[in-house]
Amino acid sequence: MSTLFTNIGELWVFDVEAGVSVLREAALVADGGRVAWYGPRAEAPDADERVDLGGRAVLPGWVDSHTHLVFDGDRSREFEARMAGRPYEAGGIAVTTDATRAATDDRLRRLVAGRVREAQRGGTTTIETKTGYGLSVDEEARHARIAAELVDEVTFLGAHLVPAGWDADAYVDLVTGEMLDAVRPHVTWLDVFCEEGAFTVEQSRRVLEAGRRAGLGLRVHGNQLGHSGGVALAVDLGAASVDHVNHLSDDDVEALAASATVATILPACDLSTRAPFAPARRLLDAGAVVAIASNCNPGTSYTSSMNFCVGTAVLQQHLTLEEAIRAATLGGAMALRRTDVGSLRVGARADLHVLDAPAAIHLAYRPGMPLTHRVWRAGEPLTEGTA
């Protein structure tokens, strides 16, 4: 079954090989869930079905490469206190851990599925999520199993916080041993929170090396609250991505630019924690690959709106529109080492995010407006729409 999407005002293809970023007055054909053709509207071939997009802009679906969706409980009071001047501290993770441990499987499944639907309604078609609010062998395995039922990419984050009553090194032994074995069937990635108040560089290295031995891809929460050493560690171990990156030395920027490790910025988290924005402009100017993700979680970034993150990156972090859209699509795909999503080149998965706007700049020009019109994933509609 093939579908011709026509009357596209702007088509953001990010076809790296062909060197095409955006086409105007365009059309696209999806066949068998993949992009079969794109080009000028006037030259479009026939297809079984035709969808007129009314001159709207079309992007690849967002690739949200960093979220923490497996959680229960409410931390709005903590957020309110932060807005009144209290700083963000890693210890808040324990509050969510208590609430999440108390939730039944069915309740957690419903909560995660609801959050995935919410993200999809905002144009996200590929989503990663992490464990990290279980922090015991059984709970981490349960969260990983539920996440694997509902999201595209699952990351083991047993090393999110040292639980109360544990010695840090003994907990690292558990994470790298029994806990890793228990979650392994459900995950393809491993992450560590390398930060003061969480895990030291040495402990983080042990966790990452164990993940690598188990055949997992590596990710790092690094340099969020200070110069934690997480960026250097991520680059040294060839991690796919290091995320947050708020506090970077010149050496960190150079190391990222010279490596295949993606620097993932989390604009909504920076706003919600009143942190200095990650120096995305500096990273791009140095030649690093940058991704944008939502970091949806109850402590530091309770939003999965990639539209908001992209608008913020343009308005506040001085990315061009093209840099920001690329970071939230192709950049996210690179952070997940995926080549099938994040662009609309021929052969890519037909994930289409149709904006209710003639041009994608509306994401920054009309911040906060409901700009996602319709979403298709692998050529199938994920959301309903009018014309």
Q: Which residues are annotated as a binding site?
A: 66, 68, 75, 133, 160, 221, 224, 295, 297, 299-300
When the beta carbons of 241 and 259 are compared against Zn ion, the nearer one is 241
When the beta carbons of 95 and 315 are compared against ligand NIG, the nearer one is 95
Stretch that binds ligand NIG, among 164-172, 246-254, 295-303, 364-372 (CB under 6 A): 295-303
Q: Which of 6, 67, 96, 305 binds ligand NIG (CB under 6 A)?
A: 96
**Residue 26 C-beta: closest distance to ligand NIG, Å:** 37
Name the binder of 93 from Zn ion, ligand NIG, none, CB < 5-8 A by kind. ligand NIG
Instruction: Answer yes or no whether residue 304 interacts with ligand NIG by CB under 6 A.
Output: no
| HEC sequence for the chain | CEEEEEEEEEEEEEECCCCEEEEEEEEEEEECCEEEEEEEHHHCCCCCEEEEEEEEEEEECEEECCECCCCCCCCHHHHHHHHCCCCCCHHHHHHHHHHHHCCCHHHHHHHHHHHHHHHHHCCEEEEEEECCCCCCHHHHHHHHHHHHHHCCEEEEEEECCCCCCCCHHHHHHHHHHHHHHHHHHHCCEEEEEECCCCECHHHHHHHHHHHHHCCCEEEEEECCCCCCCHHHHHHHCCCCEEEECCCCCHHHHHHHHCCCCEEEECHHHHHHCCCCCCCHHHHHHHCCCEEECCCEECCCECCCCHHHHHHHHHHCCCCCHHHHHHHHCHHHHHHCCCCCCCCCCCCCECCEEEECCCCCCHHHHCCCCCCEEEEEECCEECCCCCC
Q: Which of 6, 300, 317, 329 binds ligand NIG (CB under 6 A)?
A: 300
**Residue 151 C-beta: closest distance to Zn ion, Å:** 14
**Residue 269 C-beta: closest distance to ligand NIG, Å:** 5
**Residue 384 C-beta: closest distance to Zn ion, Å:** 31
Instruction: Answer yes or no whether residue 223 interacts with ligand NIG by CB under 6 A.
Output: no
C-beta nearest to ligand NIG: residue:
299
Binding mask 272-301 for Zn ion (x = CB under 5 A): -----------------------x------
C-beta nearest to Zn ion: residue:
295
Q: Which residues of the shown chain bind ligand NIG in the complex (CB under 6 A)?
A: 68, 92-93, 96, 193, 221, 224, 269, 295, 297-300
